[in-house]
A and B are shown apart, each in its own frame.
Chain A
Amino acid sequence: MRCSPQTPRDSGGVAAVKRKVIDARGLLCPLPVIRLQEATKRLAAGTEVELIGTDPGVLYDVPAWCRVHGHPVLQTWQDNGQYHVLLAIRT
């Protein structure tokens, strides 16, 4: 089962992880990366971020940006013409 967006994961008694959703639908690359980059400046380490986009480039550019900045990508998936990348802000 996959957590639905904005549902903090219950880690069995440990503090739940905060999740931030970035809606980058309708934006063409590299704008989704730019939105993510701006948002991460205000996020605490450990926060999970789910970026949702409609440009297929999201599945390449967002993980590349994450690798460059050291934020682990937890999952990527695609549904109904939307592309999702779930990452964690590095500690």
Chain B
Amino acid sequence: MSHRYKAVALISGGLDSMLAAKIIQDQGIYVEGLNFFTGFCVEGHTHAIRQRNQKKPKRNNALWVAEQLGIKLHILDVIEEYKSVVLNPKYGYGANLNPCLDCKIFMVGKARQWMEENDFDFIITGEVIGQRPKSQRKDTMPLIARDSGANDLLLRPLSAKLLPPTKPEREGWVDRNKLYGFCGRNRKPQMELAKAFGLTDYAQPAGGCCFLTDENYARKLADLWQTRGQRDYALDDIMLLKVGRHIRPKPEFKLIVAREEGESRFLSGYKNRFVSLYPISHPGPMTLVDGHLTDEGLILAARIVARYSQGRDADRVEIKAISSEGECCLCVAPLKPHEIPAEWLL
């Protein structure tokens, strides 16, 4: 009986990785998928936070892709290990704090480890030459293969014809003639291939697959490192950066002000670990204080919260402050818009 080769596919939830897996599956190869949870993923948890997203379907795209392809998907928690990628990327950052090249090397490296532990034969990714300026170039493709240790067991079905044949092609495990030579940022060839496969519903990620490519998010992360005096983070830190308005009126503290009800609910989950403020005389947002508050700082914080409440035009707004040491009420005048300098807003 002939051996059925097994490939592990990196599945992001987007179209390219879906197509890559489908191309290989259609050659009779058994495929399973891997998806990585770094804590910065745009997918998933953000559904739970923003009220305004409630009408959108809450699907996890990677799981959805796996279901469409009929393959198993393993979601790996890499939060801790991924820190070294974000904090000390050997190849540096992209436009923001996205260490895309190091990230690819890390993920392919994890896939190699998984492949060895689970007795699979090779790895596939949806990378396309020239699609991303930093991490998906012709010269970075061999670098990813080398630094991840995957070497010639890493096959990119969408751009394979533009790259030297890998072991699965040389050995005839897959037919190189049935692979593709896509390159560049034009998405049309992928969309046509999707159509040929009968795939009509797929995610179209704008920009990148994680928050590290987002300029606002990267600014808040850089602020966190700078004000703490060290480049490090915990999962809660990076989750909180995705939520609310972040306002730093003093170097020693910042406010995280919910923008809507869903965010207020989410921030409430953290109120035992931070000083929390909310208006009681008027409807208004839940706010957390991250850092150290003096009495003067508390009044300033309360005035900012009042500014974002429905009492913003009132003379006075009552604010309740709760901390692990107790609670108090403050009656403050809301700050006027011009009293909140743009540089406070992160």
Contact = CB atoms under 8 A, between A and B. Distances in A.
Interface of A: 26, 28-31, 33-34, 37, 54-57, 59-61, 64-65, 67-69
A61 B44 contact: yes
B67 A55 contact: no
A57 B47 contact: yes
Contacts of A29: 44-45, 47-48, 60
Given A29-B44, A29-B45, A31-B37, A64 B75 contact: no
B72 A61 contact: no
B74 A37 contact: yes
B59 interface: yes
A22 B64 CA distance: 23
Interface in B271-290: none
Interface in B217-253: 239
A2 B51 CA distance: 31
A30 B67 contact: no
Contacts of B269: 26
B60 A31 contact: no
B60 A57 contact: yes
Interface of B: 35, 37, 43-45, 47-49, 57-60, 63-64, 66-67, 71-77, 239, 269
Nearest to B66: A68
A56 B63 contact: no
A30 B73 contact: no
Contacts of B71: 68
A68 B239 contact: no
Nearest to B46: A28
Contact of B59 (A54, A60, A68): A60
A68 B67 contact: yes
Nearest to A67: B67
A65 B227 CA distance: 40
Contacts of A30: 35, 37, 43-45, 60, 75
A29 B77 CA distance: 11
A64 B57 CA distance: 13
Contact of A57 (B44, B67, B76): B44
Contact of A28 (B35, B48, B57, B75): B48
Contact of A64 (B43, B60, B74): B60
Contact of A69 (B35, B37, B60, B72): B72
Contacts of A60: 57-60
Q: Which of A54, A55, A56, A61 has the most CB of B within 10 A?
A: A61
B44 A28 contact: yes
A30 B255 CA distance: 27
Given A33-B75, A55-B45, A56-B48, A61 B60 contact: yes
A34 B63 CA distance: 12
Complex A-B, nearest 9 residue pairs according to Cβ-Cβ distance, in ascending order: A28-B45, A55-B48, A29-B44, A64-B63, A60-B58, A30-B44, A61-B60, A57-B47, A34-B77
A65 B35 CA distance: 12
